[in-house]
Structure 1
Amino acid sequence: MEARLASPRHVHDHPRHAALDGLDARGAARDLAALPKAHLHLHFTGSMRHSTLVELAARHEVHLPDALVEDWPPSLHATDERGWFRFQRLYDIARSVLRTPEDLRRLVRETAEDEAAEGSGWLEIQVDPSGYAARFGGLTPTVELVLDAVREAEQATGVGIGVVIAANRTRHPLDAKTLARLAVRYAGRGVVGFGLSNDERRGRAYDFEGAFRIARRGGLLSVPHGGELLGAGSVRECLETLSADRLGHGVRAVEDPRLLERIADREVTLEVCPASNVSLGVAATAADVPLRTLYEAGARMALGADDPLLFGSRLVRQYELARTEHGFGDAELAELARQSIRGSAAPDAVRRKLLSDVDAWERGTPAGR
């Protein structure tokens, strides 16, 4: 598979020139952490602070490989089976340090604190409860523990949080149906969507149509991963078979202009994770992630950090890459933030407040003025 994505069809002659638009009255670059936004692509264990990983590993006597300690963030490349296996192994090792309910509550609380510092007014965090169920008493108790931790974190930080329950592509589709029914039980009580993650090459979208039908009928957003490790065909399956409202990654839709036009027409939001794409070898450099192509084609986007624990960068860094590598000026960065908010499951009042605050950021006035 060719890892390097197609170059954008529409680029600036000098891709960094528009960064000059991002200046405040003092001539300094406008603070992207102050830009209100929604974060829609963040995995549960992958949201953990590196310092917390190291501390919990020492407390619970979990041996961490050098890639998660001295050599952190690890060098990754997941466009081949061996590279993906290593990536998944590191994720599983990190998850193993979550041994007690308080560990899990700490992760959620610290994640919400970090999101607040990054300007996120709304977060949707994705979790496969199957990976934690053996330690926390089963699938239902795990989901209830996560939702309880989310409520505490919301109260402590003011960041609104929705939970996306995700099935694993490498497991049987019947397991996905079980998770979909569980997710529907908590629709309206913190669970906002149903996802599908892990290696696209090992589980086709159409195998999971039944699970997504259950989730959609239960009022949940359809938010599968697609178009990361596989090309436009994977994106098409997610749209046609799973009726995706949003698509995790989806960057390889640029390989099919007609498909990209359809994504724009249907207002499907692509959860684009630039640093992740580079770390996993999907794109050679941040400049090769087709943000400009997607934006100018009219595709909605929500920038995401994916797994900061493994990739070493959080949400603001993704906006910085849009500014420095793709020439997005303030108005375009504000529009990206609006697209993330509109693509979210945030309550209407939260959306209105965040959108108003984005307008204020673009004007250069304090929020609420």
Structure 2
Amino acid sequence: MRVDGSEPAREGAPRSLDTLPKAHLHLHFTGSMRHETLLELAERDGIALPDSLVSEWPPQLSAADEKGWFRFQRLYDVARSVLRTEDDVRRLVLEAAEDDVRDGGRWLEIQVDPSGYAARFGGITRFTDLVLDAARDATERTGLDMAVIIAANRTRHPLDARTLARLAAQYAGRGVVGFGLSNDERRGSTSDFAGAFAIAERAGLLLAPHGGELRGPDHVRLCLDDLHADRLGHGVRASEDPALLDRIVQSGVALEVCPTSNVALGVYTDLTSVPLPTLLEAGATVALGADDPLLFGSRLAGQYATMRAAHDLSDETLAELARMSVRASRAPSDVRDKTLADIDLWLE
């Protein structure tokens, strides 16, 4: 037994993924909610939840067509509706931090669209202030360092995205580290959001649009060419185009791969079909993320566990995945250095 009371890994035995230090770069705000919290808040305010969020949880999902995505989005909107008070928001952020700590998280970039909460919480600026304050409090209480990525909704007008980009720029260096674009990739025109991303780019923010999950390599190119993506939310389907994948590798664009949601939404038939080995063999930077644990039923360590089982990954490969998540993050240098050192210790 070690001096800290923990048991050393037996020779040949896989190490615990809960203790592997890692960064979490793809987690949506409402989607981070604990299932039990959803049920409790809904009961408190008499909100009727669909069976798929109660007795049939986690729900059976598909995004093979727009109707399937609409059902997925409806569940997300219902979950958002249970957040009624500032204490609810603070609870969600704290519990997300606690869950990541339990999964070995050292840094979390949580993604939120303030316009989805503005009407209830006094506007996008006031809501952003609330989330940032909740994140600071969660860091003090859990030790997990956190930051926020403000994301626009591609189903809304591009001018709304510019408003959010200016909001993100206003908070650059004060808890907001990036700007994103979420929702169904098949909706709207990606190029129309270039103006918003230019605003965020001038402010020095990380640019992290969703792309390359529901649409293929051509959409990834749009995100690179028109939005100047530094990271891609998902991006997994770049594996279908070797030339594009080489471009991603050479430019250092990181891919936020979320295996459980890829399968749940019907992008791949099963976890063994998620092309993580193809991405790694090409030299891509990959950061595993949980996306929406509330709807997909699996949190951060679960993504590592499923990929370990599906692709027979070694502990050395899993440690390198964790390192890549840290390197692709906007964590301060002291957090990065300490986490990378602790990943090495996990392997010893």
Report TM bin, short chain: over 0.9
Quote the Cα distance in structure 2 between the aligned partners of 1:340 and 1:116: 15
1:225 is the counterpart of 2:206: no
Distance apart, 1:47 and its partner CA:
0.2
1:344 is the counterpart of 2:329: yes
Letter in 2 for 1:286: L
Aligned to 1:19: none
Within 5 Å, give how 1:166-181 maps onto structure 2.
166-181=151-166
1:355 is the counterpart of 2:340: yes
Q: How many residues align?
A: 341
SS in 2 for 1:222: strand
Q: 1:266 aligns with which of 217, 231, 251?
A: 251
Greater relative contact order structure (CA < 8 Å, 6+ sep) = 1
Letter in 2 for 1:113: E
- Which TM-score applies when normalising by structure 2? 0.97
1:124 is the counterpart of 2:95: no
Alignment RMSD, CA only? 0.9
SS in 1 for 2:233: strand
Distance apart, 1:327 and its partner CA:
1.6
Aligned to 1:35: 20
Quote the Cα distance in structure 2 between the aligned partners of 1:282 and 1:59: 36
1:320 is the counterpart of 2:305: yes
Distance apart, 1:166 and its partner CA:
0.1
Within 5 Å, give how 1:327-338 maps onto structure 2.
327-338=312-323
Within 5 Å, give how 1:1-369 maps onto structure 2.
24-25=9-10, 27-363=12-348
SS in 2 for 1:350: helix
Letter in 2 for 1:120: G
Letter in 1 for 2:118: A
Quote the Cα distance in structure 2 between the aligned partners of 1:208 and 1:171: 10
- Which TM-score applies when normalising by structure 1? 0.91
Unaligned runs of 5+ in 1: 1-22, 364-369
Distance apart, 1:26 and its partner CA:
5.6
Distance apart, 1:27 and its partner CA:
4.9
Quote the Cα distance in structure 2 between the aligned partners of 1:255 and 1:323: 22
Distance apart, 1:219 and its partner CA:
1.1
Quote the Cα distance in structure 1 between the aligned partners of 2:300 and 2:175: 22
Distance apart, 1:256 and its partner CA:
1.0
Quote the Cα distance in structure 2 between the aligned partners of 1:55 and 1:295: 41
Aligned to 1:8: none
Distance apart, 1:362 and its partner CA:
1.2
Letter in 1 for 2:30: T
SS in 1 for 2:344: helix
Distance apart, 1:321 and its partner CA:
1.5
Letter in 1 for 2:288: L
Quote the Cα distance in structure 2 between the aligned partners of 1:141 and 1:60: 23
**Identical-pair percentage:** 67
Task: List per-residue Cα deviations over 1:174-214 (Å, max 9, x = no partner).
Answer: 00000000010001110000000001111222110000000
Aligned to 2:3: none
Unaligned runs of 5+ in 2: 1-7
Quote the Cα distance in structure 1 between the aligned partners of 2:319 and 2:13: 17
Assess if the C-alpha contact under 8 Å between 2:14 and 2:315 holds in 1.
no
Quote the Cα distance in structure 1 between the aligned partners of 2:270 and 2:139: 35
Quote the Cα distance in structure 1 between the aligned partners of 2:10 and 2:60: 40
Quote the Cα distance in structure 2 between the aligned partners of 1:119 and 1:207: 38
Quote the Cα distance in structure 2 between the aligned partners of 1:163 and 1:192: 6
